[in-house]
Structure 1
Amino acid sequence: MANEEVVRDVSKQNDSRSTSTSLLAGAIAGLIVDVTLFPLDTLKTRLQSQYGFWRSGGFYGVYKGVGTIAVGSAPCAAVFFASYNYIKDVQYEKMPELLFPVGHMLCASVSEVAACVIKVPLEIVKQRRQAIEGAGHPFRIIGNTLKREGFLGMYRGFGTTVIRDIPFSAIQFPIWEALKTQWRESSQREISPWEVSLCGAIAGGIAGAATTPLDVAKTRIMLAEQSANTKTPSFVTVLIDIYKTSGMKGLFAGFIPRIVWIFLGGGIFFGIYEKAARIIDDVNNNKNTKLNTY
């Protein structure tokens, strides 16, 4: 019983990150995973495109748009994890343990909205680079979007992205937290970064499978270049249209590369995040110890 309490205290300490640690570790993990798995994301986008896989580029130029995502992935992941851990720490003090899964859903959802403020404009540029032939340089895409659609054109699909990402995170993070807790309790020790990584991969795969239709709708909306006077279709309208024209197969377009991408990405992301966070915490602790000795 005492050993269980020690494991619980250590795991709570490891799960509780300072804002600075969460920012830096999240930025490192986000950058590495997005750049490493970018080709899978490109193939997924092209499979979901209304222009068709081959007209969108097929297997050619799978790194088109990687520069945009390299610039944006670090701040997106940093904002998400800083928000997530801050809100979670507050909940740890005020919420009974029985309600922790609900708390994880809540703080993951709020954190996704915060990250989407940065993510959506970058997704617009990235996906148009990936799937629209002759889209041009990122600055050209931004210029054309602002000219044709106004400032809100850079946030085309924001609502759909939020609607996709909130369910995704609301599924992924409670499963991730629950898997970590079960692994700790069954092994009676603090789990390693690679074990945290496996928990993240499993959680991400489940969440990715469940939210694929929403991802397809988000991709279609973002790829549609329309005039400022044309109203952006709702994700419900897009989903209905996809189902009418392509059935269930259309709603789950890009399913395999998406699941592979999210499974591998979740594993790499959470593993790197955990390892980086522990290294950062160790460095900070060593600095504090040295300062206290003087």
Structure 2
Amino acid sequence: MEPRESWAALAAGGIAGVFVDLILFPLDTVKTRLQSPQGFRKAGGFRGIYAGVPSTAIGSFPNAAAFFITYENVKSVLHHDSTSYLTPVTHMVAASFGEVVACLIRVPSEVVKQRAQVSPSAGTFRILSHTLYHEGIQGLYRGYKSTVLREIPFSLVQFPLWEFLKDLWSWKQGHVVDSWQSAVCGAFAGGFAAAVTTPLDVAKTRIMLAKAGSTTASGNVLAALGGIWRTQGLPGLQARPLPVPCRTCSAPSTPQEGPVLVQQQQASGERGCSAHSSALILLEMTLSSGITREEDVKNTLQCFSSPACLP
């Protein structure tokens, strides 16, 4: 990958990550409180919906940039020796490497953000200093393994499904899908991937919020899942807001290159999407074409004022 393209991937990924994370932050707060051990209402309900946003604002750009710079470099290396039918596999491998690297930045930000979201009366920086004082750097990386274990399966499900839906739609209409059609495919693929991996996201949230020294805080994902199953059953493992797709922005340089995909941000840590992340975000970058803005996602956030959004 050329240096110019690397900088483009870094800047584009960072800007896209900040834009998506901040817009969808209220949804991420609702998701975290639904998944918290004390329950939605005791964790704050709809009050202080932007608690923890400084952590996201600071960590979002380097987190997204780290993902995209890794993703693009790995993809460019793998493309040299890959045939067309292996392209989805290339995307999956590149995305997995990107998630492992990005989580080095995402997890500390996610830990502080989620603890602030369930304790809106405590400030973000107070929570950061408290965590460092009582748990050290290890406390900020509690949940790294569970986050990676959630993000990689998400990528492995979402990418090949997205590619399959685009190919199917292209074959049906006789030409390459348009940007809005790719967005629809991405929404379905991201929604399905998020639904499949939601139990892992719930386990990650419980591990990050667990009291220091407890069994859950040890980071054992299977133990966390088992505890949730015993106390809350299947509803506890599927605690999340209703599926809410993000928008897609595109600027393809060629029909083969395809649009920029902004992955759905529904049950993410990370990508968010750390919000997502985090909930969060996978983009198929077109480096030679620049960046276009996302559509307004105001309608996505309208549900926060109604309890009807809860599952």
Q: TM-score, normalised by structure 2?
A: 0.75
Written as runs of structure 1 = structure 2, the 5 A alignment for 1:57-68 is: 57-68=44-55
Match among 151, 163, 166 for residue 149 of structure 2: 163
Deviations 1:248-274 (A, max 9, x none): 1111112x34x32xxx23646825967
2 CA distance for matches of 1:230 and 1:55? 20
2 CA distance for matches of 1:185 and 1:67? 45
Structure 1 residues 183-192 or 141-150, which shifts more? 183-192
Match in the other structure for 2:77: 90
Specify every segment of 5 or more residues in structure 2 that has no aligned partner in the other structure, as ranges.
250-259, 264-282, 293-311
Match among 11, 27, 52 for residue 40 of structure 1: 27
CA contact 1:196–1:271 (8 Å) conserved in 2: no
Alignment partner of 2:226: what SS? Answer: helix
Alignment partner of 1:270: what SS? Answer: coil
Distance 1:281 1:168, change over 3 A: closer
Match in the other structure for 2:193: 207
Alignment partner of 1:52: what SS? Answer: coil
Alignment partner of 1:91: what SS? Answer: helix
2 CA distance for matches of 1:211 and 1:192? 28
Match among 13, 29, 39 for residue 52 of structure 1: 39
Aligned residues: 260
Tell which has more relative contact order, 1 or 2 (C-alpha 8 A, sep 6+). Answer: 1
Match among 196, 213, 222 for residue 236 of structure 1: 222
Amino acid at match of 1:23: L
Match among 249, 258, 261 for residue 270 of structure 1: 261
**Deviation (angstroms), 1:220:** 0.5
Deviations 1:137-168 (A, max 9, x none): 22221111111112110001000000001101
Match in the other structure for 1:173: 159
Written as runs of structure 1 = structure 2, the 5 A alignment for 1:125-144 is: 125-134=112-121, 136-144=122-130
**Deviation (angstroms), 1:280:** 2.2
2 CA distance for matches of 1:231 and 1:202? 34
Distance 1:94 1:85, change over 3 A: same
Structure 1 residues 219-228 or 163-172, which shifts more? 219-228
RMSD: 2.8
Q: Does structure 1 residue 250 correspond to structure 2 residue 241?
A: no
Q: Does structure 1 residue 218 correspond to structure 2 residue 213?
A: no
**Deviation (angstroms), 1:185:** 5.0
2 CA distance for matches of 1:231 and 1:250? 18
Alignment partner of 2:290: what SS? Answer: helix
CA contact 1:148–1:228 (8 Å) conserved in 2: no
CA contact 2:216–2:224 (8 Å) conserved in 1: no
Alignment partner of 2:42: what SS? Answer: coil
Amino acid at match of 2:127: I
Q: Does structure 1 residue 280 correspond to structure 2 residue 266?
A: no
Amino acid at match of 2:199: P
**Deviation (angstroms), 1:169:** 1.1
2 CA distance for matches of 1:278 and 1:113? 26
**Deviation (angstroms), 1:184:** 4.6
Specify every segment of 5 or more residues in structure 1 that has no aligned partner in the other structure, as ranges.
1-16, 283-294
2 CA distance for matches of 1:118 and 1:50? 25
1 CA distance for matches of 2:247 and 2:291? 22
Amino acid at match of 2:24: L
CA contact 1:42–1:130 (8 Å) conserved in 2: yes
